[in-house]
Amino acid sequence: MRLAGICNTDLELLRGYKGFRGIPGHEFVGVVEACEEASWIGRRVVGEINCGCGACPGCLMGDPRHCPGRRTLGISGLDGAFAELLALPVANLHPVPDGVPDEAAVFTEPLAAAVEVLEQLHLAPSDRVAVLGDGKLGLLMAQVLAWSGCDLVAVGRHPQKLALLQSLGIRTLLEQDGLPGDLDVVVEATGSARGMEQALQAVRPRGRVVLKSTVAGAVSVDLSGLVVRELTLTGSRCGPFPPALRALAAGRVHVEPLIQSIFPLSQALEAFSEAGRRGALKVLIRPR
State if pTM tops 0.85: yes
Residue 53 confidence (pLDDT) above 80: yes
Residue 219 confidence (pLDDT) above 90: no
* Nearest C-alpha neighbor of 213 from the set 185, 237, 244, 238: 237
Other C-beta atoms within 10 Å of 115: how many? 24
pLDDT given for residue 253 in this prediction: 97
Q: Look up the CATH superfamily of 3-107+255-286.
A: Medium-chain alcohol dehydrogenases, catalytic domain (3.90.180.10)
Confidence of residue 216 (pLDDT cuts 50, 70, 90): low
| CATH class label, 114-235 | alpha beta
pLDDT given for residue 90 in this prediction: 96
Q: List strand residue ranges (DSSP E) for the chain, in order.
A: 3-6, 27-31, 44-47, 50-51, 71-73, 77-78, 93-95, 128-132, 151-156, 171-174, 183-188, 203-211, 232-235, 259-264, 282-286
Per domain, the residue ranges of the chain are 3-107+255-286, 114-235
For residue 161, what are the contacts with CB-CB under 8 A and spacing of at least 6? 134, 135, 139, 279, 281
Residue 214 confidence (pLDDT) above 90: no
Q: What is the mean pLDDT of residues 184-199?
A: 89
Confidence of residue 196 (pLDDT cuts 50, 70, 90): confident
Please state, rounded to an integer, the average pLDDT across all residues of the chain: 94
DSSP code of residue 86 = -
* Nearest C-alpha neighbor of 8 from the set 276, 286, 285, 211: 276
Tens of pLDDT, residue by residue over 106-128, are 999 999 999 999 999 989 999 99
- List C-alpha distances in Å: 277 to 7, 72, 199, 280: 12, 26, 24, 6
Topology alike, domains 3-107+255-286 and 114-235? no
